[in-house]
A and B are shown apart, each in its own frame.
Chain A
């Protein structure tokens, strides 16, 4: 077989093969238009190669002319698809130039078929053979078809279009594509156009061999597309690798989470679905496959904790979305456990909640330990408080008795001096001055005590009245039982909190309750009762009363019982009520006593309601 046949046939078949492959790629993925356009270019190239071969082997001038005529169709296909490829692949080039090239090339098909024998020649005048690559091939001469000038213009515009697209790409910074795609296409187009012109105007004597340049175009385009393909494959492989890595990470995460006894949940707020790990389901007492709904989850929460948790979630939604909460969960079996939960709400661009996720874990052990510590602390505080009050009272009694004793002895001495017939007035004056001095000393001790209570020890917070009364009742419960006294509590529902120091208020309550129980000493067993009531007294005040069923306070003592050292008890210090009154006064409240119509005394005090809860 001759060399020419081999080269041209191989070029054609290579182009067709590439065309087929790229057509298949496009067929698989209809969006890869570059592959389709390349397939069309390659098809055009193959067709042209066959036309060239045929022309070289033409037997008559008319056969040559006919083949050349159909060869222009191949060229048309090649140019149009090439323009499309450049436009698409480089994403550059002026569209009007592209349309001009394609439109003009298409229009040129009309004179190709209607004027003369083809676009090149009106008529072929000379038909001869020459030696080319060691073989005899046909070359022709003829009358030039004037339309060919438009064809040549068309090629110039095409080159301008590609150069323009290449420059745009270059300026964009994509130098690689500008050089390999743009530069190569310009080069091969220039070569093929020049060669065709030189042959056409008989400046050189060779057959048309544009196929060689066209093959260059095909190779460049194919090379770039293949590179892209390889790149895509590479990406695919990497994706697979990273997916495997992701699964590994997920697995490790799951192990860590289960190891730490964390349960994970995700709530899709858009689809209203809840997904949770098995561990989470076990924590909240749900079966593995059971469908989860928010309402059901809330039902699992301890009734006292539901509202608190709901408000935590609402606050999170108003804030940055994250929250932290501790609550009790009651399982269907009745078992109760403490759960610690942390989570985050995610928002979309409009600030709408779309997803919430979080972890929960069992903190029952920790909570129980905390509770125990708290109980212990409370007991210690109570013991300390009782002895503190005792010590305080004892120290105060001692401090005050010193000046009071001096006053008494001075007064007694003065009385004796006055009985003299000629009393020593200087001595008596000195005594009176000393009495005045000691009185001031006693007064300053009392002021100091007030100051001590006011300044140092009042730690005012919001205090729940029911809790306050309940705790005091717990503390005196065993005492009351031992003394066969019935302790009754009547605290109104939904009382707002008061402002005060819980420790001191409890001290006052304890003191009043113990006083009440002492008042029952000697009373009959029938009705030994101390009751504590708490209720609203106006919009800003709560009144707490401690009532006993004793004999009441003699009317003439009702005001004196709050004086320091006034006591009716054999071992009394006479300090409990004055200290209690000082404490209540420091709370901007009032403490007083009255006798009840049904018998017994009633000690009452008022406390202001915490500011924001005051019902104005």
Chain B
């Protein structure tokens, strides 16, 4: 099993259904791990591995919705798909609001089930990539010095070199040196790209003003 192969985590207190669905998923080429309770899944899962969760809605102790909210708070969340013997409207509404990928009956057609699994895996891989990129960006920004960050915050707000020098009470040439260091470290070609990356990395919590005052 390669590190990048996604794993489908199936959580159900019904052992018989657990076996059956894992057979089907394996026959369709997926890697499957089964858990008989939500608690077992939360303590045993490999946090880094990609994949998705298929959970029964009705389980003793911790039910599917509880599992959903516990998973949402984890550093590496996984998309969740709900399965139910017989669904009722209130719990399906709650599940979808909580960000569930889908809400399926246990006897749902195979195609719907596999589609939903594929969708969940796709979403996981997208979210995983986004998280990866953000982490990489953060690493790049981490190489900047305090002063360079300070200059950057002014640059992305569209301030001119002369204005920045005035604001920080330094020489205009020093500002230019800082900007060159920033673009070199962040490997960007233009101010526009610099601004986009800064926003994407979420470096400055406060909204960045791109137009000068007045």
Residues of chain A at the chain B interface (Cβ within 8 Å): 394, 397-410, 412-413, 416-417, 427, 431, 434, 437-438, 441
> Is B23 part of the contact surface with A, judged by Cβ < 8 Å?
yes
Q: Least Cβ distance of A411 to chain B in Å?
A: 9
Contact between chains at A416 and B28 (CB < 8 Å):
yes
Q: Least Cβ distance of A475 to chain B in Å?
A: 24
> Is B136 part of the contact surface with A, judged by Cβ < 8 Å?
no
Contact between chains at A408 and B107 (CB < 8 Å):
yes
Q: Knowing A405-B106, A412-B110 touch, does A434 contact B19 (C-beta < 8 A)?
A: yes
- Per DSSP, chain A at the interface is helix
> Is B208 part of the contact surface with A, judged by Cβ < 8 Å?
no
Task: Give Cα A405 to B24, complex, Å.
Answer: 12
Q: List 8 A-B contacts (CB under 8 A).
A: A397-B85, A402-B16, A404-B106, A406-B14, A408-B107, A409-B23, A410-B19, A427-B23
Task: Give Cα A437 to B17, complex, Å.
Answer: 11
Contact between chains at A413 and B107 (CB < 8 Å):
no
Task: Give Cα A332 to B196, complex, Å.
Answer: 97
- Total contacting residues, chain B, CB less than 8 A: 21
Q: Which of B16, B24, B84 contacts A437 (CB 8 A)?
A: B16
Against A, the Cβ 8 Å flags (1 = close, 0 = not) of B85-105 are 110100000000000000001
> Is B27 part of the contact surface with A, judged by Cβ < 8 Å?
yes
Task: Give Cα A225 to B17, complex, Å.
Answer: 115
Q: Knowing A401-B86, A401-B107 touch, does A416 contact B24 (C-beta < 8 A)?
A: yes
- The B27-43 residues at the A interface (CB cut-off 8 A) are 27-28
Closest-by-CB residue of B relative to A395 is B86
- List B contacts of A407 (CB < 8 A): 20
Q: Beyond the given A398-B58, A407-B20, could you list 18 further A-B residue pairs with CB under 8 A, ordered by the A residue number?
A: A398-B84, A401-B86, A401-B106, A402-B85, A402-B106, A404-B107, A405-B106, A405-B107, A406-B16, A406-B106, A409-B110, A410-B19, A412-B24, A413-B27, A434-B16, A434-B19, A438-B16, A438-B20
Task: Give Cα A300 to B17, complex, Å.
Answer: 72
- List A contacts of B84 (CB < 8 A): 398
Task: Give Cα A438 to B85, complex, Å.
Answer: 14
Q: Knowing A413-B20, A416-B27 touch, does A402 contact B105 (C-beta < 8 A)?
A: no
Task: Give Cα A394 to B90, complex, Å.
Answer: 14
Q: Knowing A409-B20, A416-B27 touch, does A397 contact B86 (C-beta < 8 A)?
A: yes
Q: Least Cβ distance of A14 to chain B in Å?
A: 119
- The B1-18 residues at the A interface (CB cut-off 8 A) are 14, 16-17
- List A contacts of B83 (CB < 8 A): 405
A-B interface, 5 closest residue pairs, ranked by CB to CB distance from nearest:
A405-B106, A398-B85, A416-B27, A413-B23, A401-B85
Q: Least Cβ distance of B140 to chain A in Å?
A: 46
> Is B201 part of the contact surface with A, judged by Cβ < 8 Å?
no
Q: Least Cβ distance of B19 to chain A in Å?
A: 6
> Is B186 part of the contact surface with A, judged by Cβ < 8 Å?
no
Task: Give Cα A217 to B176, complex, Å.
Answer: 171
Task: Give Cα A412 to B20, complex, Å.
Answer: 9
Q: Least Cβ distance of A576 to chain B in Å?
A: 15
Contact between chains at A394 and B106 (CB < 8 Å):
no
Closest-by-CB residue of A relative to B12 is A402
- List B contacts of A408 (CB < 8 A): 20, 106-107, 110
Contact between chains at A406 and B20 (CB < 8 Å):
yes
Contact between chains at B24 and A399 (CB < 8 Å):
no
Closest-by-CB residue of B relative to A404 is B107
Contact between chains at B24 and A409 (CB < 8 Å):
yes
Task: Give Cα A416 to B24, complex, Å.
Answer: 8
Contact between chains at B17 and A402 (CB < 8 Å):
yes
Closest-by-CB residue of A relative to B114 is A412
Against A, the Cβ 8 Å flags (1 = close, 0 = not) of B34-76 are 0000000000000000000000001000000000000000000
